[in-house]
Amino acid sequence: MDFKDTTKEQALNTDQADESGSQRRESARLPEPQHSSEGQAGEPITEATVVVENLNMYYGSFKALKDVGMRIRRHRVTALIGPSGCGKSTFIRSLNRMHEIVPGARVDGKVLLEGDDIYAKDVDPVRVRRRVGMVFQKPNPFPTMSIYDNVIAGIKLGGKRKKTELDNIVEKTLRQAALWNEVKDKLKDGGTALSGGQQQRLCIARTLAMEPEVILMDEPASALDPVSTQKIEDAMEELKKRYTVVIVTHNMQQAARISDYTGFFYIENMGDPGQLWEFDETTKMFSSPNRKETEDYVTGRFG
Ligand SMILES: Nc1ncnc2c1ncn2[C@@H]1O[C@H](COP(=O)(O)OP(=O)(O)OP(=O)(O)O)[C@@H](O)[C@H]1O
Ligand SMILES: [Mg+2]
């Protein structure tokens, strides 16, 4: 990749931003995960954008996740829930190799993105992060840049674009992130002059501008007021028409409202690694889950 500005590139790699012209391919037949979870029998496997198989994750000698298998459906919202420390952030970071910025963090197992093994030897993590964008818990707009420049920060690294093309991308992605109406008259203002909720939507627009296939969000609304949270939830319906979304949340109502599928992570005994305890359609997970711990958690009995 021919990046001219390495500082920015590094920031974008860790914050996430993208790649122009991501290749959306018709997925080849994907292998069945060996550890598939409940409720998926008979479903066409081509519906999955991401297939995770036998994933174990470690921080040094500490094993944080054990044997996770999951099929993340294309153009659907998948919510990840579970008690603090059970490995939700660890898992989501494994989906775009973001954990590799943590010294000593490592993965074994497989993560297939449209059939491509993202951990294969010749795969560049920068490319993976272009295809699988990430929005963090704390909004992180680039402090010295305007709203407009924040949105296009990633794509500009990929080469020159016409001003009209950039204008279109800025408007389109700010609309998708439900921020356009609030900022359309002040695009040259600093990105950090926005409220926390607006900054988070700006970061979503920045991620969208890279045209990823998958968007990962780790508690994107946890620091936001109810109105901003609502706006992010509103944006979700729109986002899933174009993208596959994975969102970590501690808010059960939010998971129930916005997601199509839900994965419940759980630690069975103190000191054990986290596991994907149950995975199913959200309606099933919140009405009649198969496991007692899931029911206890979604009804607020613990966690
Ligand atoms: N950078 C790190 N170095 C060492 N251990 C870590 C690191 N990040 C997470 N862990 C450990 O891995 C386990 C899972 O943590 P993780 O952050 O994935 O949990 P989580 O489900 O996202 O929790 P929360 O809901 O509080 O965000 C925990 O035991 C945590 O202490
Ligand atoms: Mg977390």
Cα–Cα distance for residue pair 142/128, rounded to 1 Å: 22
**Ligand 1 near 88 CB (within 6 A):** yes
**Which residues touch 182 (CB under 8 Å, ≥6 apart)?**
198
pLDDT score at 9: 43
> No. of H helices and E strands in the chain?
11, 10
* Mutational test site, ligand 1, from 81, 89, 216, max ligand atoms within 8 Å of CB: 89
Binned at pLDDT 50, 70 and 90, residue 45 comes out as low
pLDDT grade for 46, boundaries at 50, 70 and 90: low
- Alpha-carbon gap, residue 259 to 238, rounded angstroms: 13
Distance CA 283, CA 104 (A): 38
pLDDT reported for residue 280: 98
Establish whether residue 49 lines the binding site of ligand 1, counting it when its CB lies within 6 angstroms of any ligand atom.
Answer: no
- Taking residue 42's Cβ as centre, other Cβ atoms within 10 Å add up to 4
- Ligand 1 in contact with 104 (CB < 6 A)? no
Higher pLDDT, 44 or 33: 44
Kindly state the tokens that stand for 144.
């010295």
CB-CB contact of 146 with 188 (8 Å): yes
Region 259-282 average pLDDT: 97
pLDDT at 6 over 70: no
- pLDDT of 7 above 60: no
Is 100 in contact with 125 (CB distance < 8 Å)?
Answer: yes
Q: How far is the CA of 137 from the centre of ligand 2 (A)?
A: 9
58 lines ligand 1 (CB under 6 A): no
Question: Is the Cα dihedral 139, 145, 147, 148 positive or negative?
Answer: negative
> Does 93 contact ligand 1 (Cβ within 6 A)?
no
The alpha carbon of 274 and the centre of ligand 1 are apart by a number of angstroms equal to 10
Is the pLDDT higher at 300 or at 216?
A: 216
Under a CB-based contact definition with an 8 Å cutoff, are residues 84 and 269 in contact? no
Half-sphere exposure of 287 (CA within 13 A, CB side): 5
**Which range among 13-27, 30-44, 48-62, 147-161 has the greatest average pLDDT?**
48-62
77 lines ligand 1 (CB under 6 A): no
Residue type, 250: H
90 lines ligand 1 (CB under 6 A): yes
Atom number, ligand 1, closest to the C-alpha of residue 274: 14
Using the mean position of ligand 1's atoms as its centre, give its distance from the Cα of residue 86 in Å.
7
140-162 per-position pLDDT tens digit: 999 999 999 999 998 888 788 89
230 or 78, higher pLDDT: 78
Beta pairing partners, 214: 132, 244
d(CA 273, CA 59): 11
Give the C-alpha separation, 150 to 82, whole Å.
33
What whole-number distance in Å separates Cα of residue 81 and Cα of residue 97?
20
How much is the mean pLDDT over the chain?
86
Residue 294 · residue 303 · CB < 8 Å: no
Cα 217 to Cα 211: distance, rounded to the nearest angstrom? 15
Q: What is the DSSP string of 62-129?
A: EEEEEEEEEEEETTSEEEEE-STTSSHHHHHHHTTTGGGGSTTEEEEEEEEETTEETTSTT--HHHHH
Write down the residue that tokens 């609502």 correspond to: 230
| % of the chain exceeding 70 in pLDDT | 84
Closest CA to 126 of 10, 8, 296, 255: 10
**What is the DSSP track for 14-65?**
HH----SS----PPPPPPPPTT--TT-TT--GGGEEEEEEEEEEEETTEEEE
